[in-house]
Amino acid sequence: MKNDPVVAIVGVTGAVGAEFIATMDRRNVRVGRLKALASARSAGKTLSFRGQTITIEELNERSFEGVDIALFSAGSGISKKFAPIAVRSGAVVVDNSSAFRMDPNVPLVIPEINANRIRDHKGIIANPNCAAITALVPLWPIHQTNRIKRVIIATYQAASGAGAAAMDELVQSTRASLNGQVYTPQVMPHPYAFNLFSHNTTIDPETGYNDEETKVIKETRKIFEDDRIAIGVTCVRVPVLRAHCEAITFECEKPISEHDVRRILATAPGVRIVDDREKNYFPMPVDASGQDDVLVGRIRKDLSDPSGHSIAMFVAADQLLKGAALNAVQIAELLPERAMA
């Protein structure tokens, strides 16, 4: 319709970009016109959206004229340069990169947790890190009922978290390995086929924590608005194409039972319990892929804490959806002045 928002997607050819298109279509969001933006490499190629053929344009400083909502997913360098330009052109930006997440003037939003922060935006709203979103969607309703004092997270992160090229590298290197051929890694720092390795982000030489881990720690405190929550994180890349898993152990202020956690999570938005001990059926990437919910299972007492304040669980979520495109589209739908929903 004429007054429906003009939506630009920056990074439309990427792993997240493709999910923006699919998610907007699936959720039937109102889009007056779609602008598909990527690098010069993709300019002139076409994609299909709701039966229309759309030509991909090279991102430039004039790309945002007439744009109401700009969904960014092309890396933090692009966001730092072009998001302010988009805002000056009158667009509201929902940014998937880490560029603005810790900026005190930028809301960092998971709609199931802090949708109320959207109204504070000054043009840019940040989408949190995908490993953070995966943990926080189920932890938040527990934290609200019985404050979480401390949480320990170990991640099992899929190739797609590092983009389309990393997915391709996992496929190619696995194929080469099965054929007995040598494959030299191009995207990841280590062999990916039949291997796993510490997350491929820069490590702080002082703390020993990599950037991904630091993001989870800092972003959790910002989103929960709780600087006291103690967090330990180990982020690992595993040879899975899509959907992150996380082993999460948390300690609450008051005693908590697995029954309490199940009861809280049974009605929590964005959460689905998958916890069948009899069948040994718990959250898996293959089941989380393509799903909006964070799957939660293996909910059990943490036996290392005899005081009964701690619970262990295992989660899986499609980080291209809830960890990226879906969360961003949910935010855009809630922009009161842009009428996308």
Ligand X SMILES: NC(=O)c1ccc[n+]([C@@H]2O[C@H](COP(=O)([O-])OP(=O)(O)OC[C@H]3O[C@@H](n4cnc5c(N)ncnc54)[C@H](OP(=O)(O)O)[C@@H]3O)[C@@H](O)[C@H]2O)c1
List of residues contacting ligand X (CB under 6 A) = 11-17, 38-39, 41-42, 59, 73-76, 78, 96-97, 130, 160-161, 163-165, 319-320, 323-324
Contact 145, 127 (CB under 8 A): no
CB of 48 vs ligand X, minimal distance in Å: 16
Nearest 5°: phi and psi at 249?
-125, 130
* Cβ closest to ligand X, residue 74 vs residue 92: 74
Tell me the C-alpha distance between 298 and 296, whole Å. Answer: 7
* Cβ closest to ligand X, residue 21 vs residue 312: 21
User: Tokens 């939660």 belong to which residue?
Assistant: 296
* Cβ closest to ligand X, residue 150 vs residue 218: 218
Annotation marks residue 130 as catalytic? yes
- By beta carbon distance, the residue nearest ligand X is 14
Contacts of 262 by beta carbon, 8 Å cutoff, 6+ apart: 273, 275, 299
Question: Which helix H or strand E contains 182, and what residues bound it?
Answer: none
User: Among 121, 143, 199, 244, which one carries the catalytic annotation?
Assistant: 244
Question: Which helix H or strand E contains 258, and what residues bound it?
Answer: helix 258-266
Inter-CA distances, 186 with 3, 16, 49, 202, 210, Å? 45, 20, 32, 17, 20
Contact 10, 319 (CB under 8 A): no
CB of 330 vs ligand X, minimal distance in Å: 14
User: Among 121, 130, 143, 309, which one carries the catalytic annotation?
Assistant: 130
Task: Provide the Cα torsion 148, 149, 154, 158; round to 10°.
Answer: 40
CB of 314 vs ligand X, minimal distance in Å: 19
Q: What is the C-alpha end-to-end distance of the chain, expressed in Å?
A: 13
CB burial readout 240-249, b (16+ within 10 A) else e: bbbbbbbebb
CB of 134 vs ligand X, minimal distance in Å: 10
Annotation marks residue 252 as catalytic? no
* Cβ closest to ligand X, residue 96 vs residue 114: 96
* Cβ closest to ligand X, residue 111 vs residue 323: 323
CB of 224 vs ligand X, minimal distance in Å: 19
Three-state DSSP at 202 gives coil
CB of 179 vs ligand X, minimal distance in Å: 26
* Cβ closest to ligand X, residue 202 vs residue 257: 202
Contacts of 117 by beta carbon, 8 Å cutoff, 6+ apart: 107, 108, 109
**Mind telling me the catalytic residues?**
130, 244
